[in-house]
């Protein structure tokens, strides 16, 4: 299966002229350094090239989808990992009937498990579990650029699984499949990130997410969910290096909200309310039935206020970011989408039935299948969902009354096997 718009590593060592749709005017690429790294390169002191960050660029109108050779339908050199930058809207902000994709190929990088982007798009970060490296990129109005020089983090853990960037943009929390700690990386905005501090854990916590307001960190593994309160501090030297501006204090361990065995990469079924960091949806994938759980009281007094059971497997969740729509949550299942209201009120009520429409790919009618990862656009009007059964991305309208017919369909996408897509 051909992935549209692939760019080889030789062409990757430059600023890529990619017009980001749905962005409005202004802004440009920052021209970061792009020296190539070998497939086994893991220099602990390596840094991406530095450049002045561009912030406050607004809605980029894109979906970032990392994938790797272990995924079900990745095509390309082996081993090869791919960052797919999918443009969802045209220049007027209307959904594209066929979204466009620019796929950035990292030759010799074997296991992308998560990606995150600063709010302005000035800095992005991906974790490679196979080689225990962090790779960096930018996605801004007018261009995409990347550094192929990795930051080696193998000394701090192995098999990286997830990464989440703080809203300030300068710090990132990284899961490295270690049963003692997470790693805090600082210096993102300077273009010279480095390990800065440990965040102590009770056990393995593969999936991590941070709230939009930098107040809560959730870290999840098979033995439970750990809640951290995040506090801002005056910038100070980190124990491992760099400069830290936040502390992380554990407030709770919740064994009942652990993930299913062999899960844990990316967001691992966790979704914060973008407008209220005291609330999050946590999905639990069971053998015969699954649950969607509304966690409230974050970070000081977390408690499950509502649980809804469903008779199917669940893989991904998202809460609408717009303040008028943030009562809505969507969940990706083994055969379509579920919609829930009541995130803000604490009621978490199903809206309608399972949504599994038919759609057409290359003249063939197919049915919406297993949704491994998804997201909601910044205006709260559309869900972007990755259908791994049919190797497609769909843009689907959402409202308080349910889902609409797909308005955009992109076939031939490489769908990751975990919940790793990010919408900006």
The pLDDT of residue 70 is above 70 = no
Tens of pLDDT, residues 290-313: 999 999 999 999 999 999 999 999
- Model pLDDT, residue 190: 79
Do the beta carbons of residue 193 and residue 134 sit within 8 Å? yes
- CATH code of residue 168: 2.130.10.10
Instruction: Return the residue matching tokens 């790797």.
Output: 68
Q: Which helix (H) or strand (E) holds 319?
A: strand 314-319
Per-residue pLDDT at 14: 24
The predicted-structure confidence for 212-250, as pLDDT tens digits, reads as follows 899 999 999 999 999 999 999 999 999 999 999 999 999
Look over the chain and give the mean of its residue pLDDT values, rounded to a whole number. Answer: 79
More confident residue, 276 or 156: 276
* pLDDT > 70 in the chain, percent: 76
Number of domains present in the structure of the chain? 1
Domain of residue 168: give its range. Answer: 6-423
Q: pLDDT per residue over 74-127, tens digit each?
A: 444 445 677 888 999 988 889 999 999 887 777 767 677 778 877 777 678 877
DSSP per residue, 247-298: EEEEEEEEGGGPPPTT--SBTTTEEEETTEEEEEEEEE--SS-EEEEEEEST
Both tokens assigned to 228: 């951290």
Q: Of 197, 75, 64, 184, whose CA–CA distance to 134 is shortest? A: 184
Cα distances (angstroms) measured from residue 275 to each of 171, 279, 343: 21, 9, 11
Q: Are residues 369 and 359 in contact, defined by beta-carbon separation less than 8 angstroms?
A: no
Q: Let me know if residue 146 belongs to a domain.
A: yes
pLDDT at 25: 24
Q: Residue with structure tokens 């982007």?
A: 117
- Give the span between the Cα atoms of 158 and 169, in whole angstroms: 24
User: Which among 35, 36, 34, 28 has a CA at the least distance from the CA of 52?
Assistant: 28
Residue 212's CB is within 10 A of a number of other CB atoms, namely 16
Position 140 scores a pLDDT of 65
Give the 3-state secondary structure of residue 12.
helix
- The mean per-residue pLDDT over the stretch 50-72 comes to 57
| Residue 229, in any domain of the structure | yes
* Location of structure tokens 């970011």: 321
DSSP-assigned letters across all residues of 95-122? EEEEEEEEEEEEET---EEEEEE-TTSS
* Residue 403: φ, ψ to 5°: -95, 150
Q: What's the sign of the alpha-carbon dihedral 265, 33, 78, 4?
A: positive
- Separation CA 159–CA 114 (nearest Å): 12
Q: Is residue 386 part of a domain?
A: yes
CA 82, distance to chain mean position in Å, is: 14
Which residue do the tokens 């969507």 mark?
330
Give the DSSP H/E element, type plus range, for residue 9. Answer: helix 9-12
Residue 1 lies in a domain: no
- Distance in angstroms (rounded) separating the CA atoms of residues 72 and 392: 13
Are residues 93 and 407 in contact, defined by beta-carbon separation less than 8 angstroms?
Answer: no
Task: Assess if residue 324 is contained within a domain.
Answer: yes
Selected residue with higher pLDDT from 301 and 146: 301
Instruction: Take residue 187 and report the two structure tokens written for it.
Output: 């210096």
Higher-confidence position of 123 and 254: 254
Q: Is residue 321 part of a domain?
A: yes
Contact 373, 415 (CB under 8 A): yes
């Amino acid at each position: 299966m051909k992935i549209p718009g692939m760019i080889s590593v030789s062409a990757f060592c430059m600023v890529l002229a990619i017009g980001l749709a749905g962005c409005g005017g202004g802004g440009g690429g920052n021209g970061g350094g792009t020296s190539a790294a070998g497939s086994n390169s893991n220099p602990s002191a390596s840094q991406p090239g530095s450049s002045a960050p561009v912030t406050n660029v607004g809605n980029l109108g894109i979906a970032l989808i990392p994938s790797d050779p272990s995924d079900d339908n990745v095509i390309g050199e082996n081993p090869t990992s791919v960052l797919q930058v999918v443009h969802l809207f045209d220049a007027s902000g209307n959904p594209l009937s066929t979204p466009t994709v620019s796929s950035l190929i990292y030759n010799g990088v074997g296991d992308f498990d998560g990606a995150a982007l600063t709010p302005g798009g000035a800095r992005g970060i991906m974790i490679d579990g196979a080689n225990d490296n962090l790779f960096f990129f930018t996605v801004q109005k007018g261009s995409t650029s990347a550094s192929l020089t990795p930051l080696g983090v193998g000394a701090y853990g192995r098999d990286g699984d997830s990464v989440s960037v703080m809203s300030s943009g300068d710090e990132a929390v990284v899961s490295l499949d270690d049963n003692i700690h997470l790693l805090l990386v600082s210096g993102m905005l300077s273009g010279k990130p480095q390990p800065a501090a440990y965040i102590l854990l009770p056990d393995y916590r593969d999936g991590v997410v941070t709230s939009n307001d930098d107040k809560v960190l959730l870290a999840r593994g098979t033995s439970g969910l750990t809640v951290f309160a995040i506090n801002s501090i005056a910038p100070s030297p980190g124990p491992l290096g760099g400069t830290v501006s936040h502390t992380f204090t554990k407030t709770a361990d919740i064994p009942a909200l652990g993930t299913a065995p062999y899960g844990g990469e990316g967001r691992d079924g966790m979704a914060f309310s973008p407008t209220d960091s005291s609330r999050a949806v946590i999905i639990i994938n069971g053998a015969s039935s699954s649950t969607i759980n509304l966690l409230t009281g974050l970070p000081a007094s977390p408690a499950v206020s509502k649980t809804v059971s469903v008779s199917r497997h669940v893989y991904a969740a998202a809460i609408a970011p717009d303040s008028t729509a943030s009562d809505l949550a969507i969940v990706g299942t083994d055969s379509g989408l579920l919609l829930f209201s009541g995130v803000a009120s604490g009621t978490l009520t199903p809206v309608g039935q399972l949504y599994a429409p038919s759609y057409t790919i290359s003249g063939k009618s197919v049915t919406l299948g297993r949704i491994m990862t998804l997201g909601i656009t910044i205006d709260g009007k559309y869900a972007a969902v990755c259908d791994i059964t049919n190797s497609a991305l769909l843009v689907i309208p959402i409202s308080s009354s349910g889902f609409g017919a797909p308005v955009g369909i992109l076939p031939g996408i490489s769908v990751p096997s975990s919940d790793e897509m990010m919408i900006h």
